[in-house]
Structure 1
Amino acid sequence: MIDWPGCRNVRDLGTIPGVHSGALIRSDSLTELTAAGVEAVRAAKPSRIVDLRTHRELRALPNPFADDAAYVHRSLYPDPPPPREDLTPVQQYSWLLDYSIERFAQAVAAIADAPAGGLVVVHCAGGVDRTGLVIAVTLSSIGINRDEVVADYLRSDDVEASTLTGALEHVDARYGDVQKYLAHGGMSSGQAAKLRERLVLGPPAG
């Protein structure tokens, strides 16, 4: 875990085999950061901060980096989100992936299109569900082993492997694979290539 005072669920995805260290960080909301936490984020020099929260959440708890050039807002829901409390956790994830396919593609494209030379931070409120899905889709799209994708998801509290596994299996069954899912949502092949270039750790030289 990364120590950003005021956040409880921050980690560098570079701990996953095949992913560049310092390229992509997932987090819970940055709105509770202490002054030291804000300085810690600035010291990390992110080239992009992707906020997945709704407009309503932003109004209630503004992002401390909202005025920074690095900040972008990519909500996965309309405002307010349609209630789907009748669904199981797997069904909720699968429904959201279908309902917000264009929004997921835009969120992942925001990672791909981030200015070069800096890390990307992706966060929602708790850093578990929305962030977990965007990160899982991102990692899956660049070819990271599914067991590793699920293992990262399980590093957050109060989640079950079957929830994410079921949702990703739904994507495979309906769209073919995650790459085709993102393309169906509007992510270009050029953005997919930039995402791999940014995140994929190449084989050792020699």
Structure 2
Amino acid sequence: MSSMNLSAATRLLAIEGTINARDLGGLPTDDGRRVRRGVLIRSAELDKLTDRGLAALRDQHCVATILDLRSTRERTKRPPANGLHSGLTLVHYDYATSSADMERLWAKGEVIHAEVHAMMLDIYRRLPWEQAEGFRLLFELVETGRMPILFHCAAGKDRTGVAAALLLSALGVTRDAIYDDFLMSERCFEANRARFAGNGADALLLRAEWEPILRTDRAYLDAMFAAFDARGGVEFYFAGTLGFDASRIEQLRAVMLEAA
């Protein structure tokens, strides 16, 4: 079974009040093992989580820890749904949203699709370093935290997508499976668009030229991995930026992998 068929068959999760939720379990590694099922979930933000969605997190998926990768402003504007604080460990770190790229294009007034796409490529080249503190938190929670863990950002595709790609890389998951997981977020394109409909100035993002912001493009992950190659490789990033040398990476694998 290919990683994409495995994803479509078993990994998508229906959690009422959020989108883009899936289990990272079952993905294959280069050495023939698989990621444990039911211990690591990625999703979009949880501010609209319903009572049934909360019950699914607690009773069906038994989530113990939630890592929120959103900025301080995002968390203030759209705080976690009521009830998440009870019995769950909520983890985040404070940072200001850096929107210089967006503001530069916004100020132009008229932009073309290629400019927005190029902006997204630049964002992915920088995200592993700009969001390193959040990604380090994820690695540390997997290493020592209470499982299962759910991690999310706003749409669950960019910061969350990079976080997932990094962790899966550390676990030795095959590159094809990493891309398959990343591209699954494209299934939520229409749901992602709906977040901006009728939302004042944000509705401008629904125009065709701004579409790359809402899409999940293989080229984005290509840009990220190329940035690693230009800086000594992804293992150098794990050790030098996140503080996870080979021995700590092996510990992650011991926690997260099982025989196929």
Give the shorter-chain TM-score range.
Answer: 0.7 to 0.9
Give the alignment of 1:114-193 within 5 angstroms: 114-115=145-146, 118-157=147-186, 158-177=215-234, 179-189=235-245, 191-193=248-250
What is the CA distance between 1:5 and its match in structure 2?
A: 0.7
Q: Is the 8 A contact 1:150 1:165 kept in 2?
A: no
Matched, 1:52 2:69: yes
Per-residue CA distance 1:121-148 (angstroms, 9 max, x = gap): 1111110000000000000111111111
Q: Does 1:38 align with 2:48?
A: no
Unaligned ranges ≥5, structure 2: 1-11, 29-33, 105-117, 187-214
In structure 2, the partner of 1:73 is: 92
Deviation of residue 74 (structure 1)?
A: 3.7
SS in 1 for 2:185: coil
From the superposition, tell whether residues 159 and 22 of structure 1 become closer, same or farther in structure 2 (CA, over 3 Å): same
User: Which runs of 5 or more residues in structure 1 are unaligned?
Assistant: none
What CA distance in whole angstroms lies between the structure 2 residues aligned with 1:24 and 1:200? 12
Three-state SS of the structure 1 residue aligned to 2:67 is: strand
Q: Does 1:10 align with 2:21?
A: yes
Larger relative helix fraction? 2
Offset of 1:60 from its aligned partner? 1.2
Give the drift of 1:152.
0.5
AA of the residue aligned to 1:10: A
Q: Does 1:110 align with 2:121?
A: no
Contact 2:67 2:90 in 1 (8 A): yes
1:2 is matched by which residue type in structure 2? L
Q: How far did 1:4 drift?
A: 0.7
1:24 aligns with 2:81: no
3-state DSSP of counterpart to 2:70: coil
Question: Contact conserved, 2:101 with 2:119, CA < 8 A, in 1?
Answer: no
Secondary structure of the equivalent of 1:32?
coil
SS at 1:72 equivalent: strand
- 1:191: Cα distance to partner? 4.2
Q: In the alignment, residue 173 of structure 2 is paired with which amino acid?
A: I
Q: Is the 8 A contact 1:9 1:27 kept in 2?
A: yes
Identity %: 29
Task: Name whichever of 97-106 and 25-34 sits farther off.
Answer: 97-106
